[in-house]
A and B are shown apart, each in its own frame.
Chain A
Amino acid sequence: MKERRMVPKADFRSYYGRPIVRPPVWRHDIAAYLFTGGLAAGSALLAAGGDATGRPALRRAGRTTALGALLASGYFLVNDLGRPERFHHMLRVAKPTSPMSVGTWILSAFGAAAGVAAVAEAAPLLPGLARRALPPLGTAGQYGAAALAPALATYTAVLLADTATPSWHAAYPELPFVFAGSALASGAGVGLIAAPVEQAGPARRMAVLGAAMELYGAHRVETGKGILSEPYAQGRPGRLLRAGRALTAAGVAGAVLGRRSRVVSALSGLSLLTASLATRFGIFEGGVASAKDPKYTVVPQRERLATQLAGPQSPAGSRGLTGLTGSTGPTGSTGSTGPLAS
């Protein structure tokens, strides 16, 4: 209903109001993966920082969460495939023009490293040789995973932006910041939940910095893209993104003000994790909504063409519309009787 009322407001033509670009067929698995992938990255960074600065609680929580989030990611990604049993076809090629191919390799490398790091946490329970050999391997894996984490957290932004989905594509400059910030905040959330207050200091600062990045990026995406910001403000995507913002703010406030209370810290952590989840779903669904309404394809492209035509020495038809000169359509021309009669 809402769409119907919106159509006449923006002046554009279409084929029976049908979409032009095709909305993604991805299910909510992919939105969920945006969250779990970011969480894995954020946790890996938390683990590395915690280990490097002698905070075992952060290391332990970071390593195990990274593995858990990774397993969930793998499930979501494979489950969303039209042919899940062919998931390994992703590994046939390494293709720089495909962010999904690049991401597959990032995720695989990250997975191996983070997996070793998490398994090494169990070393004390293991016998003899394994007990001694695992920890150094785990440390190497932990730093390897941390080195890959920024790539893991941001490639998904490129993945969404490298589509014809209007509101994703338009958001390409800021989307990586939204996702990086969201990943940091969720990693910080894990630290706040798992670590005692005296070890959680870095997690608090991570929460503040991550939230700042995320809020800056999301603000730009939600307000700076003209008509293409609209899908992020309306309906369910709008509600999700607003909820994400509120929860982020609450989480940061709790992390900073509640630094003496384990309970408040943990609640703040939970709030940050939920915020990250809501933001990812909001961004995902906003893009889908922008693909479903032809307005978001036609109007910006028309504006682009109009700017081109108005620009200096740019002949009409420079962008594939030869014959437009002097005639903008049937009503703009004279001397012709019917559609095809001469």
Chain B
Amino acid sequence: MGENSLYGPLDPAADAGYVDAPPRMGFFTDTSVCIGCKACEVACKEWNAVPDDGFDLLGHSYDNTGGLSANSWRHVAFIEQPAKAVPEVIDVFEAAGTTASPQFLGMPGKDLPGRTPDAPRTDFRWLMMSNVCKHCTHAGCLDVCPTGALFRTEFGTVVVQEDICNGCGYCIPACPYGVIDQRKDDGRAWKCTMCYDRIGDGLTPACAKACPTQSIQYGELDELRGRARHRVEKLHEQGVTEARLYGHDPADGVGGDGAFFLLLDEPEVYGLPPDPIVPTRELPKMWKRAGLAGLAMAAAVVVSFLGGKP
């Protein structure tokens, strides 16, 4: 255990004891180009043979998956929002009608595409985001797993060994993002592996491979972080001032995510915690308090038996 083993910036593979580990790999999910096609959800299920998660109609826009779970390792969130108050200088309807911007996400018209070029647009936007396990630098799930089923790979990712997991369930409340989950009929814990079997062979994880807009980008984490910074700058230049990165910062509460995001609204709008902290950060303090309580307990017993009359 190194100095930052529980908290703070860290190279997780080296901390886990790998010598000459390959570079840390990660996902950069740029939600500003996500079109909500769910190809990632499907590709993940296909490749990893993840079982069906039931046929639910949730009434949450186009999201009928609901969230990440034992049987959904990618989840595309759909948020319907009234777009921001339109500044007078630019008329959004006009802009949508004239610039033929392929990015404008309005309500779909009833007509065939292209038949009525000036189809009415509403003052409305969709946010879409493909969520996934963050492969945290300090992973709550991994810290607390009592069997060693969860482990750190040489790529710095976090993976469950299904032949070891005994379904104790501890990892599930320990994840600050609510990612890992117990599969009901199976009892064990399951989550994204960042396609450990694929990346070991130099392949791209199934979701990133299937993403048609490169909303999901896979690569060396350092490189992705640089790419993401540029993307935010560019979006800010273009006036999308609400673009922000989430999970990219090695100084954050989990030491930075191996899978991080570019978001267009507050994290909680997408179902992400605004300021996640790995529970284990407080572990030394917790044991100290427990030790104190234990001592108090022992003292109470001594006093009970030695003090006073029978």
Find out whether the CB atom of A163 lies under 8 angstroms from the CB atom of B103.
Answer: no
Q: Within 8 Å CB of B296, what residues of A?
A: 177, 180, 213
Find out whether the CB atom of B305 lies under 8 angstroms from the CB atom of A49.
Answer: yes
Find out whether the CB atom of B275 lies under 8 angstroms from the CB atom of A305.
Answer: yes
Find out whether the CB atom of B304 lies under 8 angstroms from the CB atom of A323.
Answer: no
A80/B279 contact (C-beta < 8 A), A89-B147, A184-B301 known: no
Q: Within 8 Å CB of B87, what residues of A?
A: 334-337
Find out whether the CB atom of B239 lies under 8 angstroms from the CB atom of A14.
Answer: no
Find out whether the CB atom of A342 lies under 8 angstroms from the CB atom of B305.
Answer: no
Find out whether the CB atom of B273 lies under 8 angstroms from the CB atom of A297.
Answer: yes
- The residue in chain B whose Cβ has the minimal distance to the Cβ of A93 is B148
Q: Is A9 an interface residue (CB 8 A)?
A: no
State the CA gap A330–B308 with chains docked (Å). 69
> A-B pairs with CB below 8 Å: how many?
359
Find out whether the CB atom of A338 lies under 8 angstroms from the CB atom of B104.
Answer: yes
Find out whether the CB atom of B181 lies under 8 angstroms from the CB atom of A336.
Answer: no
Docked complex: B31-67 residues within 8 A CB-CB of A: 32, 58, 60, 66-67
Q: Within 8 Å CB of B188, what residues of A?
A: 82-83
Find out whether the CB atom of B79 lies under 8 angstroms from the CB atom of A15.
Answer: yes
Q: Is B218 an interface residue (CB 8 A)?
A: no
Find out whether the CB atom of A326 lies under 8 angstroms from the CB atom of B147.
Answer: no
Cβ proximity bits A295-313 to B, threshold 8 Å, 1 near / 0 not: 0011001101100000000
Q: Determine how close the nearest CB of chain A comes to the CB of B9; give it in whole angstroms.
A: 12
Q: Within 8 Å CB of A188, what residues of B?
A: 304
Q: Is A269 an interface residue (CB 8 A)?
A: no
State the CA gap A289–B194 with chains docked (Å). 31
Find out whether the CB atom of B241 lies under 8 angstroms from the CB atom of A20.
Answer: no
Cβ proximity bits B149-181 to A, threshold 8 Å, 1 near / 0 not: 100000000000000111111101111111111
Find out whether the CB atom of A101 lies under 8 angstroms from the CB atom of B297.
Answer: no
Find out whether the CB atom of B232 lies under 8 angstroms from the CB atom of A323.
Answer: yes
Q: Is B116 an interface residue (CB 8 A)?
A: no
Docked complex: A46-80 residues within 8 A CB-CB of B: 46, 48-50, 52-53, 80
- The residue in chain A whose Cβ has the minimal distance to the Cβ of B66 is A18
Q: Is B268 an interface residue (CB 8 A)?
A: yes
- The residue in chain B whose Cβ has the minimal distance to the Cβ of A316 is B244
A172/B285 contact (C-beta < 8 A), A25-B172, A97-B6, A338-B95 known: yes
> Which residues from chain B sit less than 8 Å from chain A, CB to CB?
6, 32, 58, 60, 66-67, 77, 79, 81, 83-87, 89-90, 92, 95-96, 99, 101, 103-105, 125-127, 140, 143-149, 164-170, 172-183, 186-189, 232, 236, 238-249, 251-253, 256, 264-276, 279-280, 282-283, 285-287, 289-298, 300-301, 303-310
Interface CB pairs A-B, < 8 A, 5: A16-B60, A19-B178, A297-B273, A301-B274, A341-B103
> Which residues from chain A sit less than 8 Å from chain B, CB to CB?
12-16, 18-26, 45-46, 48-50, 52-53, 80-84, 86-87, 89-90, 92-93, 95, 97-101, 104, 146, 149-151, 153-155, 157-159, 161-165, 168-169, 172-177, 179-181, 183-184, 188, 198-199, 201-203, 205-206, 209-210, 213, 291, 294, 297-298, 301-302, 304-305, 317-324, 326-342
Given contact pairs A13-B268, A82-B186, a sample of 13 additional A-B residue pairs in the complex whose CB atoms are under 8 Å apart? A19-B178, A20-B272, A21-B178, A177-B293, A179-B293, A205-B304, A302-B275, A323-B232, A330-B242, A336-B84, A338-B105, A340-B103, A340-B105
